[in-house]
Amino acid sequence: MPHSDQMIWNDNLTAERPSFVTHLECGLTGERYEADVVQGLSRAGRPLLVRYDLDSVRAALTKDVLAGRPRDLWRWRELLPVRDKANIVSLGECETPLIPLTTAGERLAARAPLVKDEGRLPTGSFKARGLVMAISMAKALGVRTIAMPTNGNAGAAAAAYASRAGIESVILCPDDTPEINVREIAAQGGRVYRVNGLIDDCGAIVARGCAENGWYDLSTLKEPYRIEGKKTMGLELAEQLGWELPDAIFYPTGGGTGLIGMWKAFDELEAIGLIGSRRPRMYAVQASGCAPIVRAFEAGERHAERWEDAHTVAAGIRVPKAVGDFLILDAVRESGGKALAIGDPAIVAATERAAIEDGLLLCPEGGATLAAYEQALADGEVGRDEQVVLFNCATGLKYPMRDRSKTLDRHGTIDLPSL
């Protein structure tokens, strides 16, 4: 079997290809920045977005062209920033499936919601999408050491791809990060440190280290390329649903890179003629113990203040302050969606229900989207006949599970009918 890197771009392309990237653009001010050099935040302290020559992409990327390519992340290469395939640092990024929650739909007397199960990706989470792009571009730009804060899964993906690229990684995580994530980061070559604080406290230390040690900061939205990897969720979803977007998307939102990326992807797909102007309502799902986007949405604000004393069982969405807050809120409002907060008991219960009813082991953040959908359905926010997509961002195998087992004494009398 060929190496996964060799399976990418196996059509008649040279290693160097004409790139469709034109420039980078501040997401807040629109100020233009040069591509192909190391960039962080804009002068306004906000994320930079990659822009493409979409007229040329329209001519190059058609439905027929896509149909002839392997079903992986790299089939969307005209809408991705990597210019030279030699810089791709792949671990086999597959297209993730849409799994209907049939039993849940029957229980709710609603059309079965579809779960896009991102736990099938390398390192077991959707962080692989963003980090494969960020690390591939870091390799292209000659970066030697990357650093980032993490609540777990992003750090694991960063360490794995960095090791594959021969790049050093320094990963800082809150000291209550799930143990399996901490050990996974270290096992994949990352220099991992536990910090007595939250993810933004870790980020502050990373920022100082980048300034003093010359590390490349891979913090969420503090470089331009993670969002380009994450937007492939939206590209895939459109094609999987026959180029008709769903009525609603429920997305677990911490830093919000994927929600922002999908909203960007939909605009790009329309510009190249693959979809129309219809958009799904975007629901940013947060935990009630850390809901800065929900608070800002309800107050009508465009920016979200830091959430103090953040706590939730869904560590991946425990982000007290997101640098791309305004981009999340803009997408939610433009789509006619909402920001929703879900309590930990509801998150845990939804996660357990999905496993028992439909055999799908969600991560807590994925459970939050199911709980939010059920709440929205009960409130009349979502119609029972609408097509809804929930995002499960990681395999549930990474998280603690309640022990429901019982014991049998093989030496004693076993009441087999009672089993």
pLDDT in tens, 2-17: 334 444 444 434 344 5
Q: Which residues pair with 341 in a beta bridge?
A: 286
Higher model confidence: residue 309 or residue 18? Answer: 309
pTM: 0.92
C-alpha distances out from residue 317 to 50, 106, 291, 306, Å: 25, 29, 9, 14
Q: Which of 217, 89, 70, 224 lies closest to 143, judged by CA?
A: 217
Q: Which of 20, 26, 4, 22 is nearest to 70 (CA)?
A: 4
Question: Strands 114-117 and 388-392, how do they pair?
Answer: parallel
> pLDDT tens digits, residue range 144-171?
999 999 999 999 999 999 999 999 999 9
The rounded distance, in Å, linking the Cα atoms of 34 and 36 is: 7
pLDDT per residue over 342-373, tens digit each? 999 999 999 999 999 999 999 999 999 999 99
> Which structural domains are found in the chain, ordered by start?
98-124+226-398 (3.40.50.1100), 127-217 (3.40.50.1100)
Q: Rounded distance, CA 294 to CA 285, Å?
A: 8
**Which tens digits make up the pLDDT trace of 227-270?**
999 999 999 999 999 999 999 999 999 999 999 999 999 999 99
Q: What are phi and psi of 84, to 5 degrees?
A: -120, 120
